[in-house]
Chains A and B, each alone.
Chain A
Amino acid sequence: MTLQDWLEGLYRDHAPALFRFLIRLTGDEADTKDILQEIFRRLAKTPRLLDGVAAPRSYLFRMAHRLVIDRHRRDQTRQHYDRLAWQERDPISRPEPLADDALWVQKVLDSSLDTLPPEQKEVVVLKVWENMTFAEIAEVLDISANTAASRYRYALDKLRESLRPLYKDLP
């Protein structure tokens, strides 16, 4: 198997999940692409990185997580202004009328997810969409399983709170 075949296999298997994780965390397609590029650049340069790794997906998520942190530290000021911009266009304060209640819940949840702190958001993404256990999440994020569980709990509480004005009326 050539290096190119190996990289293409990895890309097919893991890039969609990494993309979902990164786009939720960065909120920016260009940043997501840069980080994805960096991950594959490192893999192409040092293919032995994955030698003896039992769960390549967890390893790749951990790499992505660290790259996001590095980028966040570098662009802290910009991120701060981005977050302010997000708060300004928070749709909860200016709701648009939607016919379907479920769609409205989805819209509010989607926006609320973006306003979560990054450390809670990444736990939610890994737990809900990647179906990881708290132990796996802990390994990816370099935290304890208890911390992962409590971050998830806080995130759900915040999301529930964002839906509070709505779910009284829901069936």
Chain B
Amino acid sequence: MNDESLEQHLRKLPQPELPAGWQTEIIAQALREARESASPTRQVWPPFLMFLRQIVARNPLTASALTALWLLIFLFKASTPVDPSEKELLAHFDPNRPVYLVSIQDEIRLAELLQDQSEPRRLQIP
């Protein structure tokens, strides 16, 4: 049997018919889902947020790097000496400025000393 006669036999095979009732059902379902997907409720994340989420949460390398960075920031903050009278990060803003760690009593004494230095000296009459 050659190719042509084989093809002829194949063409004569009974073809399955598309069931008549499917059209209404399939199109109605497709339209319903299209309407639902067009609702104002956002179904998917916008691309930029997807990218951000990928960087921050999903990628193990970038997520570990960000965690390490936050840890370093915390350790840096925790280990930086603070002048309790001014409540600012001295070492960060002015590394040349001497930093003293003082107790409350020392602080009061220092404040009195500074106050004394700033006031004009009075002549003390013996």
Contacts and interface: CB of A to CB of B under 8 A. Distances in A.
Interface of A: 3-4, 7-8, 11, 15-16, 19-20, 23-24, 29, 33, 36-37, 40-41, 43-45, 102, 105-106, 109-110, 113, 124, 128-129, 156, 159-160, 163, 167, 170
Query: Interface size bucket, B side?
Result: 20 to 34
Given A7-B31, A8-B23, A33-B22, A45 B37 contact: yes
B27 A109 contact: no
Contacts of B6: 156, 159-160, 163
B27 A7 contact: yes
Interface of B: 1, 3, 6-7, 9-19, 22-23, 26-27, 29-31, 33-34, 37
Contacts of A7: 27, 30-31
A44 B30 contact: yes
Given A29-B19, A44-B33, 19 more contacts: A3-B34, A11-B27, A15-B18, A19-B16, A19-B17, A33-B26, A40-B29, A41-B30, A41-B34, A43-B30, A44-B31, A106-B9, A106-B14, A109-B13, A128-B10, A159-B6, A163-B6, A167-B1, A170-B1
A129 B15 contact: yes
A62 to B, nearest CB: 19
B15 A20 contact: yes
B23 A45 contact: no
A138 to B, nearest CB: 19
A40 B27 CA distance: 7
B26 A36 contact: yes
A15 B10 contact: no
Given A106-B13, A156-B3, A160-B1, A41 B33 contact: yes
B34 A11 contact: no
A3 to B, nearest CB: 7
